[in-house]
């Protein structure tokens, strides 16, 4: 809600002036491994550029909304930074969006989400140490932890967004999903949707036999309001709305250069002390928030194309219990066979790969990315960018059908961390072409395009 005329914008939310500060201890680095580096860990993969993540290059702080365990419908803005008093021993996690004191349950949940994003558990530490023992240059650069999302669901959806499109569109789709989440949680926008429902829709709704079972979203949409959402023509003009949780909704150009009426350019957000992140950007939507959305509406609203159906089907399968994210995480924690290939029991990787292959839209490239996010680094997700890298960096020509064999030949010596060795090279190339990525302003993330890289390759 905007501040009273002539008043301080933060005065309307005085409780937000005092963040809840949590400490996240860092385990000592293993012998021979580099100490934890927040900047190197966050700015290690394109996932950190995707909304609702925001890396501030000036303050070296990661900011984004995170869900509360006590109420998954509530998100709070969280800032992750080096601890000012103990930078080598702990991180400072400041919760700046909490309306009240955080319960121990919520504090633990927030720290666990940060641990997941930064791969700070014991197993991750061992993997980093083993890889850096093989790769001296990676150790010197503090490279080994690949940034990921606070939840497996967010990783899975973002891996869908990475497939078969330009990077600029990937960024736009992720930002649009977060903006949609902001709309879903806003009672003011809900009321506006309802007020703009034409009478013909109202009559149709009254005649409905209400056969569809709807999962209650965090905004407590009733059935009347959900019907409005299913008409894209009724749910797109919100540029003039002012909501309790939204001070600013900057516009963003689409991949084609046009500007949508409700398009959030995540890169334009300002991180001033008096403006919390949750006032400007929504959180990444949960399965419950996506499961009841109409596929056509979602496709048009977020420019998802065919991905909308896959994302909605994934969300519905999770809500209906057909897919258990917890079970997938539990499989990941199982031990690998002592000698690979000499056990009749499928390995955790094989089991997860099989489980993911049954989900619509999860082809080899998407599965490999999801499994990388889950901590498997022996398989390299290969696409046209991989082919370009091998040709430029290793002078190896390849095709989609032959690239995996070339990858095995080049990076096999780093088993089981082939992806980390490959990504260290590729990310290093990006740092060379674009300048230090952690110093980039978010608005420049859209430069990561194939056409730009082709020009850079020709001129190098």
Cα–Cα distance between 146 and 157 in angstroms, integer? 17
Cα–Cα distance between 356 and 317 in angstroms, integer? 12
Cβ neighbours of residue 6 closer than 8 Å, sequence gap 6 or more: none
Structure-block tokens of residue 90: 């702990």
Q: What values do phi and psi take at 188, rounded to 5?
A: -65, -45
pLDDT-based confidence at 458, cuts 50/70/90? low
- Token pair 């940060």 is at which residue? 114
Average pLDDT of the segment spanning 218-246: 33
Give kind and range of the element (H or E) at residue 55: strand 54-56
pLDDT-based confidence at 97, cuts 50/70/90? confident
Instruction: Decide: 380 and 368 in contact? Cβ < 8 Å.
Output: yes
Average pLDDT of the segment spanning 424-440: 95
pLDDT in tens, 287-318: 999 999 999 999 999 999 999 999 999 999 99
Residue of 404, 418, 327, 426 whose CA lies nearest to 376: 418
CA triple 318-322-323, angle to 5 deg: 55
241-268 as b/e: b if 16+ CB within 10 A:
bebebbbebeebeebeeeebebbbbbbe
Predicted pLDDT of residue 422: 99
pLDDT at 230 over 80: no
Average pLDDT of the segment spanning 340-344: 58
- Token pair 């089907």 is at which residue? 313
Predicted pLDDT of residue 241: 29
Alpha helix segments (H runs only) across 79-186? 104-118, 122-134, 136-141, 152-161, 167-184
Pairwise pLDDT comparison (78 vs 230), residue with the higher score: 78
Predicted pLDDT of residue 450: 62
Structure-block tokens of residue 54: 């925001």
pLDDT at 260 over 50: no
Would you mind telling me the total number of residues written for the chain in this entry?
Answer: 460
pLDDT at 53 over 70: yes
pLDDT at 455 over 90: no
Compute how many other C-beta atoms are within 10 angstroms of the C-beta atom of residue 445. Answer: 20
pLDDT at 196 over 60: no
Cα–Cα distance between 227 and 236 in angstroms, integer? 14
Structure-block tokens of residue 407: 């990858």
DSSP 8-state class, residue 282: P
Average pLDDT of the segment spanning 132-142: 97
pLDDT at 67 over 70: yes
User: What's the first-to-final CA gap in the chain, in angstroms?
Assistant: 51
Average pLDDT of the segment spanning 247-255: 32
In this structure, of 156-160, 272-276, 410-414, 445-449, the range with the lowest mean pLDDT score is 272-276
């Amino acid at each position: 809600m905007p501040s009273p005329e002539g008043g301080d914008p933060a005065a309307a939310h005085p409780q937000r002036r005092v963040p809840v500060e949590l400490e996240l201890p860092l385990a000592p680095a293993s012998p021979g491994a580099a100490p934890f580096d927040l900047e190197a860990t966050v700015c290690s993969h394109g996932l950190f550029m995707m909304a609702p993540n925001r890396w501030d290059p000036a303050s070296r702080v990661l900011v984004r909304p995170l869900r509360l365990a006590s109420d998954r419908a509530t998100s709070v803005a969280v800032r992750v930074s080096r601890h000012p008093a103990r930078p080598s021993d702990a991180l400072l996690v400041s919760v700046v969006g909490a309306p009240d004191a955080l319960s121990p349950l919520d504090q633990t949940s927030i720290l666990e989400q940060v641990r997941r994003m930064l791969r700070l558990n014991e197993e991750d530490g061992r993997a980093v140490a083993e890889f850096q023992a093989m790769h001296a240059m990676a150790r010197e650069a503090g490279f080994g932890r690949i940034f990921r999302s606070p939840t497996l669901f967010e990783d899975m959806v973002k891996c869908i967004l990475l497939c078969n499109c330009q990077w600029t569109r990937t960024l736009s789709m992720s930002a649009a999903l977060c903006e949609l989440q902001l709309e879903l949680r806003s009672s003011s926008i809900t009321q506006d949707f309802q007020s703009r429902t034409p009478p013909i829709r109202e009559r149709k709704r009254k005649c409905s036999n209400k056969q569809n079972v709807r999962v209650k979203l965090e905004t407590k949409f009733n059935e009347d309001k959900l019907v409005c959402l299913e008409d894209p023509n009724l749910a797109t003009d919100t540029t003039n709305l002012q909501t309790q949780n939204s001070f600013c909704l900057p516009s963003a150009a689409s991949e084609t250069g046009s500007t949508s009426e409700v398009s959030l350019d995540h890169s334009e957000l300002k991180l001033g002390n008096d403006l919390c992140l949750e006032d400007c950007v929504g959180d990444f939507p949960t399965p419950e928030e996506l499961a009841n959305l109409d596929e056509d509406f979602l496709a048009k609203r977020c420019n998802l194309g065919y991905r909308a159906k896959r994302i909605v089907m994934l969300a519905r399968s999770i809500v209906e219990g057909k897919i258990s994210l917890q079970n997938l995480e539990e499989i990941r924690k199982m031990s690998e066979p002592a000698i690979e290939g000499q056990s009749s029991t499928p390995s955790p990787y094989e089991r997860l790969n099989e489980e993911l292959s049954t989900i619509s839209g999860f082809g080899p490239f998407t599965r490999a990315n999801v499994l990388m996010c889950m901590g498997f680094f022996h398989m390299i997700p290969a696409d046209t960018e991989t082919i370009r890298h091998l040709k430029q960096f290793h002078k190896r020509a390849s095709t989609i059908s032959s690239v995996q064999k070339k990858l095995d030949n080049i990076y096999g010596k780093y088993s089981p961390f082939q992806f980390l060795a490959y990504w260290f090279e590729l990310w290093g190339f990006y740092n060379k072409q674009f300048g230090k990525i952690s110093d980039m302003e978010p608005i420049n993330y859209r430069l990561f395009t194939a056409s730009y890289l082709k020009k850079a390759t020709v001129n190098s």
